[in-house]
Structure 1
Amino acid sequence: MTGRRCLIPLRPSRLLSAAAVAGALLISGCGVLPGSSGSADQPVTVMTWAPERAPDGSPHAMAGATAMATAYARWVNEEGGIDGHELRVITCDEGDTLLGAGRCAREAVKRDAAAVVGSYSRHGQAFMAPLEAAGIPYIGGYGASTEEFTSYNSYPVNGGQSALLAGNGRQLAAGCDQVSLVRPDSISGDGMPPLLDTGLSEARGPRSVDILAPEDATSYAAQAAQALEKSGDGCVTAVLGDRTETFFDSFRRLEPEGSRVRVSSVLGSVGQPLIDRTGGRNSPFEGAYVTGWYPDSNDSSWSGMRRVIRTHAFADNRVDPEDTGVQTAWIAYTVLRAVIEAIDEPRITAGKVSSSLNRGTQVDTGGLTPVLRWRYKDMLGTSAYPRIINGQVTFQVVRDGRLVADRKGFVDVSETLSDAHSIN
């Protein structure tokens, strides 16, 4: 068999340089340099979505997540990319609707995204199926939808609201003789008491009094009065999402002078931006216990994120370093970076990202979470939470208007989650 001849023209006056010959060979398709892959590292396209402008009446805008993703891309690309790959971030306004979530997922498929990273959506039933069909991994979602902890396509970085409730029980057990739980009168709310009570019982605390509340009320005077009556001098914890502020406003109006009731909640229902907005040290949350996923925002482990925000998002007021959506997006992109570096190939695809994660790529987040891995043996594995790999939480307290550590380090509630599910 006769091979194809490769003819490289010479310049009239002198021979081509070695580099020029190599370039001509590449252009002609005749060959590549020994040891070369034949192609440079290609850009990696990913998507981040969140409700940037939620519908009227919905408080679930989370524009900080997409803004953090954009700032992260600016930073790594200025540094030469991730392992030589330019990072291209597509953002999508999910709008806090089923239609919006599905539209964003289909756009990720259309744009051949290697992953969806650091996103926020409550509508997993709309976005997960299109991603599964295309094999696009969902890395480090906020934890706002059930599918994030059940789909084989999801790689969560925290334990969601379930871990927070289990941890809240552990946090309250030490200092509360009685506990009232104010929670939504809904199917999702029905799972809250077993989680809180299991956490309380493991720390030899009391069982909670279950107080149901409508999800869309403008006043919670009746529930506040019931909570005050049932808690005595104990604790009242409210997990009502965006309506938590409304509940505690009603609660403080009814609370008698000199009351020793401690109030409590979980991250996502209460956070530093809410505390700031409602008066700082004069807010109704002063002294509150709050269970979170990550170290408090003053912790030095956030210094890298804060530096990137200062240099690459300094004029974007959507990027609040104390916002949990911003923090989760940062951690999710930390995971993406570790995975791309572990693959070390010119072309990064969704399949390669999923394969790397499934094989056990190890991600060190610098103390923001435990070391993360998504092997089968790393997962909690219960039927309710099969994809949780990080069952650790942090205990915080509002002191002088700031969320600070109530206890240093992480508290592992993985066993509590398993026990609560078996009881329920």
Structure 2
Amino acid sequence: MRKAARFISLLTCGALLSGCGGLSASSGSPAPITVMTWAPEGTKATNMPGMPAMAEAYAKYINAKGGINGHKLKVLTCNEHNDSVAVANCVDRASHAGAVAVVGSYSEHGASFSAALETAGIPYIGGYGITQEEFASPVSYPVNGGLPALLAGNGQQLAAKCSKVSLVRPDTTAGDQFPGFLDAGLRNAGKSDATDLRAPDDATDYTSAAQQSIGNDASGQCVTAVLGDATATFFDSFRRLRETDSGTGTEHAPRAHIASVLGSVTQSTVDSTGGSTSPLEGALVTSWYPPAADTAWAPMKQVIQKYAFNDDRIDANDPGVQTTWIAYTAFTQVVASLGHQAITATNVMRAFGSAHGISTGGLTPPLGWRDADLLPVPDLPRMVNAKVTYQVVRNGRLVAARSGFADVSGTLETTPQ
């Protein structure tokens, strides 16, 4: 079945030469390299419009430098609408256009898109890391440790401060995986499992979930919320829970310490909720990448400034934008290594399968996808990077809580599935 899919992919490249790295029939110049980036836009759940916008800006940047080995980069974008049928349609469109990869994308419907990509023989490079399939599909080449690494890291980060943790997470199939990874981080530090609280990821008020999360509001309690775009709404509901001290008659905010992970909390979230007066002040946040103020982000910011100055979809603090930048950075280096070989989906996968030591300028550890680079994480055999950073909201800014990366691969390798 897989051989047939690859044969069909090669036939498609023959019919759509301009998308597969041959010569343009009209000009004799190197044909463009066609790729796709998809993400949800305009939905009631998490939206990532900055990812396709960053992909378009990256294409302008790389093409201004002469492309990849002389090939222009052609980026197709697709709104996957947070819908399993829509994302499968994105794959179909990519296949018909002769795309050699899907790069730097976001979808919560991993089962749908991974099956479609495997059938089409198209690699998935640097997905956001929200689904299990991104770390299991043979055509997936992740650049970060996804939600598993973030949650395991968050558990370890909270263990040093909290005696009890409540996790507020989406009542979805993807969300059902969250407690196991957070608990692995807590257990690794000798702490008890978190209280698992499910909530809608598109609610306009989370008072009930916030009240449950703080329980008796004793000292040492912590609340970590991982609700994507709705996380700010949750913490606003959390902030409004004020109690009156029976002895003094004065009100006080909940004592429980708050936390989250990259994507659910960003610098933009802190800014929009009050900056230094935000309810997120003091929050502990686990990330894949260095803080947005780190100088390692300077090249990305320069590209945004020059090629997407008026595009308000792009926020340099957005982890979706950051992931897309990193994915395209890796894609460009690996495809450049093909030299004068035909740039087909099959050859791109072959090149990624032998790639090692790919630099992202310090935004991640050096990346590779050889068999020797794969981590022995149960049910996540495609994971190659399980390193995270620890951050804290201080004076209204997300800053490093400790220097460098923390490796949670050992914790994930012992996670019961």
Assess same fold via TM > 0.5.
yes
Equivalences for residues 13-412 of structure 1 within 5 A:
41-52=30-41, 54-55=42-43, 58-230=44-216, 232-234=218-220, 235-256=222-243, 257=252, 259-345=254-340, 347-412=342-407
CA distance in 1, matches of 2:81, 2:202: 19
Question: What value does the CA root-mean-square deviation take over the aligned residues?
Answer: 1.9
SS at match of 1:71: helix
* 2:148 aligned partner, one-letter code: S
CA distance in 1, matches of 2:202, 2:76: 33
CA distance in 1, matches of 2:116, 2:173: 25
Distance 1:130 1:201, change over 3 A: closer
- Contact kept? 2:373, 2:384, Cα under 8 Å: yes
- Contact kept? 1:40, 1:346, Cα under 8 Å: no
Structure 1 stretches of 5 or more lacking a match? 1-38
Q: Deviations over 1:126-172 (max 9, x none)?
A: 22222212211110011122221110001111111111110001111
Structure 2 stretches of 5 or more lacking a match? 1-27, 244-251
The structure that has the greater radius of gyration is 1
The structural deviation recorded for 1:184 is: 3.4
* 1:297 aligned partner, one-letter code: A
Provide the residue aligned with 1:18 in structure 2: none
* 2:233 aligned partner, one-letter code: T
CA distance in 1, matches of 2:378, 2:158: 27
- Contact kept? 1:228, 1:255, Cα under 8 Å: no
Aligned length: 381
- Contact kept? 1:289, 1:396, Cα under 8 Å: yes
CA distance in 2, matches of 1:88, 1:106: 17
Distance 1:382 1:175, change over 3 A: closer
The structural deviation recorded for 1:331 is: 0.3
CA distance in 2, matches of 1:268, 1:60: 10
- Contact kept? 1:149, 1:388, Cα under 8 Å: yes
Distance 1:282 1:93, change over 3 A: same
Distance 1:184 1:309, change over 3 A: closer
CA distance in 1, matches of 2:186, 2:354: 36
- Contact kept? 1:178, 1:232, Cα under 8 Å: no
Q: Deviations over 1:110-131 (max 9, x none)?
A: 0111111111111222222222
- Aligned-pair identity in percent equals 52
CA distance in 1, matches of 2:279, 2:291: 19
The structural deviation recorded for 1:40 is: 5.2
Distance 1:249 1:87, change over 3 A: same
